[in-house]
Each structure stands twice: as C-alpha cells, then as structure tokens.
Amino acid sequence: MTNKFVGKRIDRVDARDKVTGKALYSADFYQEDMLYLKVLRAPHPHARINSVDVTNARKIPGVVMAITAKDIAWVKNFGMIFKDQEVLVREKTRYMGDALAIVAAETPAIARQALDYIEVDYEPLQVLSDPLQAMDKKAPYIHEPREENCEPGYNPGNLLCSHRLERGDVEKGFAEADKIIENEIRTPHVEHVALQPEAGVAKYDKDTGVCTMWVATQWLHDIQADVAQALNLKAEQVQIIQPAIGGAFGKREDVSVHIIIGLMSILTGRLVKMEMTREELMITQNKRHPIIFRYKTGVKKDGTITAWEAEVIGDTGAYASTGSAVVHQALYMCTGPYNVPHLKGVSYTVYTNNTYAGAMRGFGATQAAFAYETQMDCIAAELGIDPLEFRRKNAYELGSITPNGQILTTSVGIKETLDKAAEIFGYEPGRLSKEVNGKIRGVGVSSSMFGCGYGEGFPDHSIVDLEVTREGKILVRSAAADVGQGILTVVCQIVAEVLDIPMDLVEMAPGDTHATRNAGSTSATRQTIFSGNAAKLAAEELLGKIYHRASLELSKHHPQFLVRDGEVVLQGTETRISLAQLARISREKGDPLQAEGCYFPRTDVPDEATGQGRLVYVAYTFNTHITEVEIDKYTGETKVLRVVAVPDVGRVINRVGVEGQSEGGTVMGLGMALMEKQVIEEGITKNADLSTYLIPTSLDMPEIITDIVESGDAAGPYGAKGVGEPALLPAAPAIINAIYNATGIRFYHTPVTPDEILQALQARASKNF
C-alpha cells in the first residue's frame, strides 16, 4: 500500500501562523499592569561576594521589588543533572552570568536603570579559563570538592566527572599497525543564536497555589520538575504553557528565565515578564562545549584501522548543566562510523569560570565528528589513499560494533551515503586542488554517525493522547516541543496516515504541562522516533476503537467497512457514519473515542569501566557530505561553493522536513567551520553581540543538494530515524578537509579564519622560495 502522507513533501502545520505573524512567542505577551524583571549579573567571573546592597534601587519610583540571595534563603539550587547552580548567588560568583539581584519594576526602562543603583562589594579570586589549568590539583576550587566522583591526581573541586571506554587491547592493535597517527584537535565555545532571545511571563494564583508560566522550553515536564523543586512547590503547582518557540538548538533545554519569573510572580503577586537581551543571554546561557581531543590511531598500509585511543577533555564552564553527558557522548562517538577492533578512551568534564556549556545540536557528537573526520583525513593523506575510499574501506556495515559495543543489526546506510554522495557530486578519486583566477578550489569529504535518543539506560519515553472531537476532528495531545524542526507536522502526518483522513482534520493541542503528557525533550534527535512512534501507536489504537464502535453500530465486521476521510464507509453501499457521529455515540455509551500511545524502549547503561553495553542507543543516523570550497589567495577568504549532503534517515516521514534540516545543518556547520567562536578571555566574553559574533547570512549560502538514503527498518515509525542533529555533523569537517585539499594546509581547530589561511599560505610560499 502506498502512503498518502508519510514520505511526502508536506507543508508545515505551523507555517501559516508563523509567516502571518499570528504565532505568539513568549516575548509577545503583553498586559497593561505587568511587572518587568531585570537581573544584575556578576561583576567578575570568580569573586567572593561580601555584600549586595539594593537599598538605593528600592527607593527608585516604579521599582516594586529588589531582592538578593538573602531575601530568598528558602529557594533551592537548580540544574539538570547536578543541582549546582544558584538562583541568586550567595557567597561567590563562578562566571559572568551569575545572578546577584532581581529587580521588578513598572517599566523595563526603570528595571534596567535600577540595576545601576545596586552596590556590590566583592573580592576577585583567581579566574580559571583553561580546563587544563582547572584540572590541575593546585588550581583553586570553583565548586566544593567532591571526592567521591574524582579521579586521583585531579582537582576535586573542578573535575566534574570522567568516563571510560575500552574494548579489545589497544597495545596489541598498535603493535599490528604500520603507522601510528597522533593529533590534538580542538573546538571552541559556540553560541546557538536561536532567533528569539529567552523570555517568559508568569502569574501566581494564590487561591489555587498554581504558578502558570508562558515560556519556551524543549521539555515541559523536566523544566517543570526543576522549577518546582527550586521553589519548594509540588510539580502540579507549576504549569508551563508552551508558546511558539523561536528556535532552540539545545539552548532551551536549560533553565533560563523560568525560575526567576516563577519566583517573582509568587513574591510580587503580579504578572511578571522577563526578556533577556542578546548580550545577556550570550554571556549567561549555555554554550557548545569546547572540547580537546587527543587521538592516537594505528593503521595498516592497506588502510585498515587497527587501534584507536582517545582522550577527551570538555570545558563545561561554571556549572554542569548537561555537561557530563555531552562530554561523554563526545567520547562514545570518538571513532565515528568506522570499524575499530581495539579501542580505549577516557573523557574528563571540567569546571572553569567560563560561561557554562550544555546541550547544543549534536551534544558532543558534533565536536567528535570534527575530530574523527579530521583524524580520518590525516590518516588518508598519510597513507596516500583517497579520503573517500579510505572512509568506505572502514565504514560500518551490518554486524559492525560501535564504540559502546553495540552490534549494529539494522539500518546501516553509511556506505550508501558515501556512494550516493560521490555519484551526485561527480567525485574524482585522488583529486587535487585547482587554481582558477587566483582562487584555489578543493574538495572535502566527511561522514558521521549519531546515536538517536538519550540511550544509555536513561528513562526515555513519549506519550501521545488522541481523541475524536465533537466536530469529528482528531485532537492530538503531545508535549513534544516544535522548536522549528517540524515534529508537530510529523505527528499530524502519522495520525492522518493511520486514520486515512485529511491532515486538516488533525489538530494539535498546545503543549501544556497540565493538559499534555510527557514527551521528553526535543533533543537527542529523538522526537520523530519517540513521539512519532507514540503517535502511531495511539492512532492504531484509536483506529481499533473506531472499528469496534462502528462494528457495533453497523452490525458488520470491519473487513466490510473502511475508515476514510473522516467517515466510516460500508463498502459497496451508501451507508456511512461520520467520525463526529461515531464520537457522539461513543461518548453517550460512556466509552469515548480516545486512545493513548506510549513508546518507552529499553536501552542499557554502559558499563562504568569500559563503556560497553548491548543496546546503548535505539538507532544510529549516518550522514555524508562532499563539499567544494574556493579560497582567495590574496585575502585567505574561503567561499563554500557546493555541498552534496546525503543522510541515511531510515525512512523519510516529511521530505521537505529532512531537506530543511539538512540545509540548516549545513549552514550551521559552515558557521562553525569558518566564523563562529564565542571568545571568552579570562572568563569574559569579548563578542557578546551579533555584530562581532558572526553567523552566516543568506549570501554565504552555498549550493546545497540533499539526497536521502532510506536504509529502512530503524526503530522509528515506518522504519525512520532522526535527522536534526546528524544533519549538522559532517558539515564543518567537510569544509576544513576541503581547505586541506585546496591548499595542503591542515587545520586542527575551528573556526579557520582568513587570517590563519593567509598566514599559512604565505609561510609555505616563503619556505618553497
């Protein structure tokens, strides 16, 4: 049977509202009598706070409240994995984003100006901006030492955690190798630059004891839990309603304004609103982790990899956020989609006084992809093997074993992605750069893998509720956050497919902790798999209930009728019952047409000492890029000309959705390769605005051709896997590898600037002279 909706090019269900301006973002909420909040941030990245005096700020007309940590002794710390972050800091600041005081005022301008009247007395402490320095036993502690988690020899106040990976015997593997290649590869702090700055509105109802907030988040129920525990409330006393979300990319996995607006709505008894400025959120909110990879790889002359050793050091900044998970994911993905018989690795997650790092598209796997694809390219060059051929030779196939020891039994399309990309690109093996009008062209290859879902035994599920409404529409209740990637459309497509009804008869209820059930986070490239499966299960159950009710009403068995276009049709007759009618009858009979679907797959917790497990992630998505760049010899500028992107997504649900993710991921990778770095020196950000922190514009866009491999049979609905994060992974390394192909100059970090390229070109020219 061919699908009507699944696999097709489907317009996004939220597109019309967003394009016409009807969609409401949290910053759009306005009410005449609301209060505006502003937060005083740290005066120094690492300082002992002697006092914070708000006396003068309180005197300003229009200021309704100004509080410090002293006023809220009852409020608890927050944090996603470790509760290590204070709502208002008590004794010391650990980075520039730490909050010292909150002002509530009648206008935003008054609140902003009141901050100037707050006096802070502090003593600066030594700032630790380099994770290698912070790990050292002699470094001062940023947090209270936690001996139980710490490696001997490392700093117990600054080393958050470590993880290990081991399979086979690397010494044996290195002994078998003809060549051993060692490199250190680094990535910097990167900002998500979601379109919408963090903002939220909250209101506390004294009578019900419920604090209701309109604020974007990638996971309603987890943020609800963290807000509630911080404010000493029960979870049901915190209601979060999801407005339209102006992008996320992992940024909105963390608490931002949530606890502050909840707290101030309770303290003032009024509707409060807080909006961060771009500068404030760049300094305050999570970053992509800078990670150092130290790789040692053994290979035979014929290009067979024999052993791989990795040391991974991630700078999680002042607070843990999801840092421990991000950095160990970088370790768990450290060899990419390539067969490695002997493997050993360790990762360290380290506190510094930099802006804290957390989730960002790829969650450690992006940094890892840059590292292993750089390493793979170096090895290919060293062996004189074509880079695409070298990847192909070592790429996973059915039966391959991931770094975590998972044997891949299904949906391994990596080789097909390499072949298809080569074909579409017109890839010439052994290709050397060519010069056209003072511009040098080169081609780069990169592949990647990504484990979908939280995996690793972490509770990971989604529940979707369906109901046939009085109008005969299907109402979908899901807390899955659509951060722009299109999960709402995917869910509607699947429901429409199963029930064989037009998509406009499927309606999504807004995400709301009190009306929709947990869907987990929109992260880990999991929503299509998790909420997609839950939607499919729910729709199938609902279809069963429709059959059941219809067979009672029609006194026929279901092979004799079919459900189509919102009606039950008795085949070969004029008899039909609309779903609206059927819903009414069902309700009257006390058995309403409702159904739920819950997808809760099991994964294994990897062994602590070796990182090995049987089923660590529910699916793996692969993606290959072949990219052509052009470098201006005079200026060192790199222009990305053309990208062929071929992801293996198992099965396509929404074709334009996959293409959109692929194009967006490519541009984000272009930024990462050539422009993006939040410069943090001694804990202080030097480019906290969009005129100095640059991301690509439409004029920087290359031609992007996305073709899709459907290896099928993956864990998601219809055999799908996710694509959101994998879309980004190969983009940056393909560009850096293309720069190598063009110039013969290897860069081991991102971003690569014109300055560095020009310097390297001239250094080489003078050497050859």
Partner 1 sequence: MLIDLGYRAPDSLEEALEILGEDSSFLILAGGTDLLVKYFDAREKMGNVLDISRLEELKKIVIEGEKIFLGALTTHEEIYRNPDLQKKVPFLCRAAKSVGAPQIRNQGTLGGNMANASPAADLAPPLIAVGARILLAGPDGERSFNLDEFFTGPGKTRKNPNEIITGVEFNVPVGDFRNTFLKVGQRRALAIAVASLAIALSCRQGKVEEVRLSAGSVAPIPLRARETEKILQGQKLDNLPLEKAADQLEKEASPIDDIRGTRVYRARVLGNLLRKGLQEVLSQEGVSENG
Q: Which residues would be at the binding site for partner 1 (CB under 8 A)?
A: 60-61, 109-110, 112-113, 277, 438, 634-637, 675, 679, 686-687, 691-692, 694, 696-700, 753-755, 758-759, 762
Contact assessment for residue 278 and residue 689, using Cβ atoms and an 8 Å cutoff = yes
Tell the smallest beta-carbon distance from residue 107 to partner 1 (Å).
Answer: 8
Tell the smallest beta-carbon distance from residue 688 to partner 1 (Å).
Answer: 10
Nearer to partner 1, 458 or 634 (CB): 634
- First CA to last CA across the chain, in angstroms? 68
Nearer to partner 1, 399 or 438 (CB): 438
Which H helix or E strand runs over 442? strand 439-452
Q: Which two tokens stand for residue 277?
A: 């400025």
Rounded to 5 degrees, φ, ψ at 317 are 75, -155
Tell the smallest beta-carbon distance from residue 698 to partner 1 (Å).
Answer: 7
Classify strands 305-317 and 342-351 as parallel, antiparallel or unpaired. Answer: parallel
What is the 8-class DSSP label of residue 214? E
Cα dihedral 391/394/398/404 (nearest 10): -100
Tell the smallest beta-carbon distance from residue 614 to partner 1 (Å).
Answer: 46
Tell the smallest beta-carbon distance from residue 692 to partner 1 (Å).
Answer: 5
Classify strands 576-578 and 594-599 as parallel, antiparallel or unpaired. Answer: unpaired
Nearer to partner 1, 219 or 693 (CB): 693
Rounded to 5 degrees, φ, ψ at 162 are -140, 155
Pairwise CA distance, residues 243 & 258, whole Å: 13
Nearer to partner 1, 515 or 763 (CB): 763
Nearer to partner 1, 229 or 753 (CB): 753
Tell the smallest beta-carbon distance from residue 699 to partner 1 (Å).
Answer: 4
DSSP string, 638-675: EEEEEEEEEEE-SS-SBHHHHHHHHHHHHHHHHHHHHT
Nearer to partner 1, 650 or 683 (CB): 683
Q: Which two tokens stand for residue 595?
A: 């159904």
Q: Which two tokens stand for residue 241?
A: 């309603």
Please name the amino acid found at residue 410.
T
Residue with tokens 């609905």: 717
State the Cα angle at 28 between 26 and 33, rounded to 5°.
Answer: 100
Nearer to partner 1, 107 or 573 (CB): 107
What is the 8-class DSSP label of residue 237? G
DSSP SS3 for 36? strand
Contact assessment for residue 93 and residue 102, using Cβ atoms and an 8 Å cutoff = no
- DSSP H helical ranges for 555-654: 579-588
Nearer to partner 1, 132 or 694 (CB): 694
Nearer to partner 1, 283 or 422 (CB): 283
Pairwise CA distance, residues 294 & 347, whole Å: 10
Classify strands 703-706 and 179-186 as parallel, antiparallel or unpaired. Answer: unpaired
Tell the smallest beta-carbon distance from residue 652 to partner 1 (Å).
Answer: 32
Tell the smallest beta-carbon distance from residue 191 to partner 1 (Å).
Answer: 14
What is the 8-class DSSP label of residue 24? P
Nearer to partner 1, 90 or 633 (CB): 633
Nearer to partner 1, 310 or 742 (CB): 742
Pairwise CA distance, residues 194 & 481, whole Å: 15
Contact assessment for residue 21 and residue 75, using Cβ atoms and an 8 Å cutoff = no
- From the number of C-beta atoms within 10 Å of its C-beta (0-12, 13-18, 19+), residue 146 rates as middle
Pairwise CA distance, residues 676 & 694, whole Å: 6
State the Cα angle at 346 between 341 and 350, rounded to 5°.
Answer: 155
Smallest CA-to-CA distance from 281 within 219, 194, 347 is with 194
Nearer to partner 1, 21 or 61 (CB): 61
Tell the smallest beta-carbon distance from residue 753 to partner 1 (Å).
Answer: 8
Tell the smallest beta-carbon distance from residue 693 to partner 1 (Å).
Answer: 9
DSSP string, 120-161: EEEEE------HHHHHBTTSPPSS---GGGPPTTB-TTTEEE
Contact assessment for residue 119 and residue 56, using Cβ atoms and an 8 Å cutoff = yes
Tell the smallest beta-carbon distance from residue 102 to partner 1 (Å).
Answer: 18
Tell the smallest beta-carbon distance from residue 635 to partner 1 (Å).
Answer: 5
HSE, CB side, 13 Å, CA atoms: give it for residue 516: 27
Nearer to partner 1, 63 or 506 (CB): 63
Tell the smallest beta-carbon distance from residue 762 to partner 1 (Å).
Answer: 7
Contact assessment for residue 252 and residue 216, using Cβ atoms and an 8 Å cutoff = yes
Tell the smallest beta-carbon distance from residue 644 to partner 1 (Å).
Answer: 21
Nearer to partner 1, 16 or 686 (CB): 686
Nearer to partner 1, 2 or 697 (CB): 697
Tell the smallest beta-carbon distance from residue 700 to partner 1 (Å).
Answer: 5
- DSSP H helical ranges for 555-683: 579-588, 655-674
Tell the smallest beta-carbon distance from residue 634 to partner 1 (Å).
Answer: 4
Nearer to partner 1, 15 or 109 (CB): 109
DSSP SS3 for 500? coil
